[in-house]
Structure formats: structure tokens, C-alpha cells
Amino acid sequence: LGAFAPSRSPWPWVQHRCLSASSCYHGQVKYPNVGALVIPEFRTSSIAEIAPDDLFKTSSLSSAPGQPLDEELTKLYTKTPAAFVYAESDFYKLKKNTRVSEVCILGRSNVGKSSLVNALAHRPNNGLAFVSTKAGKTRSINMYGFGPAPTIKELQAQGSKYKDEPIPTHTFYLVDMPGYGHASQKEWGKNISLYLNKRSAVKGAIVLIDAEVGPKDSDLHLLELLSAAQLKTAIVLTKADKVKKGLEGLRETCKKVWDALHNIEMRTTEGNWAWERDVYVTAVGARDSNVVKSTVAIARLAVARLAGLVKDERPDVAKNKRWSGKMISFDDLQYIPSKSEVRETNASTPEPTQATRDIPSSSKNRLGLSQARTAFEDLERAAKAQHAGRTRISAGRRSRNWTGAGTGRAHARAFYSTSVRNDEESQNKLTKAERDAAIDEFLKSLKANSERDRVRRIQLERQTNPPRVFKRSFEAMEKREARRLVKQFPEIAARTKAVLDRRLAIGERQRQNRATSEAEPRAIQEDQWPTTTDANNHRDVNQAMDADEFESAFAKSKGLKDNEEKQRTNKKKAL
């Protein structure tokens, strides 16, 4: 129908049909065939576009090098069905996870976070996450698992800080967050900033921005939060099918995003916040299935990159690549010459090159050239050994230029040796012995389900808890035996009985004593102060006598005493 649609159709809906993913019309505007817009390194350059196919050409999954990326991504996301793992609104109640990566999806209410989760999992009818046209549908932190569960070997390599950490069920977790800018902003701030700052498993954040609306104040606030948390960030523009101005509109939004990122970078001094230059374009709610398919693949790439599953050949994907080797202060930067320069130096004493002239002579003299070379190589080897086995996005792209080797110029760019998160990561790792013990335990728990173990468990249970029939006959046997012994040794039996009786009697007495002492009031509680009738018993307390009264009472008592004395002497006399 679309192929034969005339340019001015008498049926307006015909114009909404799409010809293909690359040329799709919504209203009068052509849907742009753009995978991502690339933010350049310098403010003087302009934003470039990358077609979806080109995005996939330059990279591959670390687990399947050399294979076509889009196919591998589809396999990863859909072969093992994605599943809802759990939801929690309180950060402190989240389950422990130090083994697999988590990527969180953030954005304003109704921007399409939950729709994206469904699209990634290939649940077109919103079968996984709840979606609504009204803002504020998602209220808790929702974990969704994607990809197959790690193998035992992978678990072994991952290790864990906690012994009671649940075994991961998926390759990575996608975390759907409640939207901000809605009524629940207060709670949002607390729990989610805790999540972004404290959760060591979180490897990156996807920030969704409405392609038509562009970044709002709340989005800027979120980006600042992410910059403070030093969490790797990728921007995804959603609802691209709704952009009225097509590619031009997308470019405008991307420019606003760029300005926002630039402003944050200017304000923060650290400048080590890593955000991706690729601003991904998606339209998972578009009417054309081709558009949906191609944009879902793009979103899959964005998430997999953050989860650390993609090996990128393109060097300029990340804005800031984190240097994870040794940190060298600016003053200690040493000049390391290129190979050709070394050759020249060995041949004869050459004229100082422009590069060598730039370096203060004191630095040059610190080490001889060949010594400097070997020292650097040692350093590099040590750093590599230290970080071996870590799959990180930047691992494949660490350039020699950064430390100045091979270029003939010392680079004066400051890099952090290890980010806070990396430190945390290495601290979380168990020692080898602990990890082996944890794995043994895990294997045991697997074995416990085997048939042989089940039989053994039943046998053990029978021994400790024999069935009732046997129990009764055992008791009868014991009684018979006891009677026989009493008959055989009457004296001993009598003595034993006396001892037992005495013990019983003592026990009984103690029990009675305890019962009576419990019955007695222990202390007058506050609510047991004397009532009006009791007050007579406390007369001397409640009604103090004055001095005269006291005198007379005293005299009276003395008189009584005298009377008693007289009576007693009279009796004696009578006797």
C-alpha cells in the first residue's frame, strides 16, 4: 500500500504508512535514518550522524569477537527470555549483587523507560514492564534480568564479597527506575541517589530524553547527579517518531544535550565523568515495525556497551576514557622518545628536536633514554597484569599516546589512576581461598540435589528419628529390661529409688517456693499506689503530727507501758 501511495493521498492515513526503515514518513516529515548523533570533541566542530548499520560495523560482542554485532545482540537479549527478577522501593532492601553488571534506566516520567525495557526484551505487547500513558506508573526500583546465567567458570572468575550473595540468574540486570519530575520526587532523590552512588554493581546509566521536548531542568539535575557519582552515562533520545522537524529536530535536541553536558563539565573541577559521545536515537513506539526493529537494536547496543559486553574498535565512543593504571603527577611526567628518535640518538648525538626542546632539561636528565624506555615498559606490564581479566569498555582502547610513548611528546592530560568505583570493585573481590570456598559451597548445594544424596539424607533421618512403630517397641523393651534389673538387684534399686525420690521432693519444694514468691507483690508499681481505703494504713505517712500531738501521743504510750508494768507486778504478788 505504501509503495503505491501517491504524494497527495485522498486518504490521509496512507501518508502514515512507511516505505522502509530508511525512508519512513510520519505526517509530512521523513523519519531520519539515524542510529546515533555524535557529539564532537571540540566545540568548534558540528554534530555528525551515524547510520544504524555503521554503528554495528565497528564493534563486536566481547563474547563473540568477529561475529555480526546486531545478530549477536538479538541472540543475547532474546534467546534466553528476559525476566522480571524483583522490585524494591527501598535501596537498603535490594539484593546483594557484586557479580554481574547492572545498568539503570533513568528519565522523566512518561519518557518511555518501561516501554524501552519491553522493547529490549522483545515483548511488543508490554508483557514485561508496566506501561501507561499517564505519568508516574513505575514507583519502585525494578530489576530485569537479560541473557543466559553465567557458567561456573565465569562465576569462579567473578568472585564475590559476600558468602550469602544469591547466584546470578542472568548475564546482566537492567534496572527500570521510577520517573522523576512527578509527585514522588522526594523519595526519588533519596533512594536513587543512594543507588547511583553506593551500588558497586551499577556500571552505567542510560538517560532517556524526549527527542521532541529536549532536556528539561530535571534532566540537567540528573546529569549533575551522575557526574557527581562518576557513573558512566549514555543519552538515548526517545519517541523520535514524534519529532515534527525530523532530522533537523533531532539535531536541535542533541545540541541542547551537548550544551547541558558542556555546562556541567565546566562547573565540575574533576572532569573525569565518562559520558558517551554517541547520542542514540530510538522510537520503540513507532508505527512502522522496521523503525522499531532498527531502533531496538540501537538501544540494545547502548545498554550492552554500558554493561561492558561490547568491544569497540571506534576510538571516540567515550568522552572520557578512564585511565586505570598508575597515576603520575604532572611534575613527574617524563619525556619518553619515539623509536625513531632512539635510533637517531644511538647513531649520533642529534640536534634536539622540537619535542625534546619542550621538555625541561632536568626532566630529560632524570633517566637515560634506554633506561626510561625499559622503566616505562615495566610500568605498563605491571599495570596490564594488575588489570588482567577485567572486561571493561575502555580496556581495548587504551592508547599508548596517553602516556606519551611512541609519539615523541609528553602528554599533559591528567587522568585518574583508578576511579573510586574501580577501587571498590577490587576491594569487593574475594581472596583466592575465599572464592574457592564459596564455589565449593555452591557446588555442594548443586550436588545436594543428586539422587545419591537424597537417599543418604533419608537414611540419616531414619537413624536419628526412627518411625513411631519402632519407637514404641523400643520403649517397651526398655521398661522390661528395667523391671528385670530391679528384681535382680533389689538393694541397689531401693537406694536409687530413694535418691530419685529425694531429688524429686527437692524439685517439688523449689517449684512451690517459686510459685509463692511469684504470687507475692514484688514492688509497688506506680499504678498500685494506695487507694483511699489503703490510706488509713499509711496514716503516719500521709498525716504528719505537729509537735504537741507528738508529745501527748508519746506520753500516752509511756502511760500505757506503766499500766502494763503495774498489772504484771500485781499478778506476781497474787501468785
Ligand X SMILES: Nc1nc2c(ncn2[C@@H]2O[C@H](COP(=O)(O)OP(=O)(O)OP(=O)(O)O)[C@@H](O)[C@H]2O)c(=O)[nH]1
214-253: contacts with ligand X (CB under 6 A): 238-239, 241-242
CB of residue 166 vs Mg ion: minimum separation in angstroms? 25
CB 77 within 8 A of CB 133: no
Q: Which residue has the cell 563486536?
A: 60
* Choice between 110 and 418, CB closer to ligand X: 110
Dihedral angle of Cα 28, 30, 31, 34, to the nearest 10 degrees: -150
Q: Closest approach of Cβ 148 to ligand X, in Å?
A: 26
115 binds ligand X (CB under 6 A): yes
Shortest spacing between CB 259 and ligand X, in angstroms: 23
Distance between start and end Cα atoms, the chain: 144
Among the residue ranges 35-43, 227-235, 282-290, 325-333, the one whose residues contact ligand X (CB under 6 A)? 282-290
Question: In terms of CB distance, is 33 or 138 closer to Mg ion?
Answer: 138
Q: Does 261 bind ligand X (CB under 6 A)?
A: no
* Residue number with CB closer to ligand X (131 or 336): 131
Q: Is 191 in the site for ligand X (CB under 6 A)?
A: no
Nearest distance in Å: CB 147, ligand X: 22
Instruction: State in angstroms the smallest separation of the CB of 366 from ligand X.
Output: 56
User: Please, which residue, 136 or 396, has the CB nearer to ligand X?
Assistant: 136
Residue among 196 and 208 whose Cβ is closer to Mg ion: 208
Judged by beta carbon distances under 5 to 8 A according to partner kind, the member of ligand X, Mg ion, none in contact with residue 284 is ligand X
CA nearest to 102, candidates 192, 220, 163: 192
User: Cβ 336 to Mg ion, closest distance in Å?
Assistant: 52
Q: In which element (H, E) is residue 452 found?
A: helix 451-464
Identify the burial level of 310 via C-beta atoms within 10 angstroms of its C-beta, where 0-12 means exposed, 13-18 middle and 19 or more buried.
Answer: buried
Give the angle 183-188-192 at the CA atoms, nearest 5°. Answer: 165
Residues 116-155 within binding reach of ligand X (CB under 6 A): 131-133, 135-138
Q: For residue 105, what are the contacts with CB-CB under 8 A and spacing of at least 6?
A: 113, 116, 117, 174, 175, 176, 177, 205, 206, 208
Residue 237: other Cβ atoms inside 10 A: 30
* Stretch of 278-286, 351-359, 382-390, 525-533 lying at the interface with ligand X (CB under 6 A): 278-286
Please report whether residue 110 would count as binding ligand X according to CB under 6 A: yes
CB of 114 to Mg ion, least distance (A): 3
- Distances from the Cα of 435 to the Cα of 150, 427, 446, angstroms: 16, 13, 17
**DSSP 8-state assignment for residue 180:** B
Question: Is the Cβ–Cβ distance between 277 and 316 less than 8 Å?
Answer: yes
Residue choice 236, 283, 302, 438 for contact with ligand X (CB under 6 A): 283
Q: If DSSP codes are grouped into helix, strand and coil, which group holds residue 159?
A: coil
Residues at the interface with ligand X (CB under 6 A):
107, 109-115, 131-133, 135-138, 178-179, 238-239, 241-242, 283-286
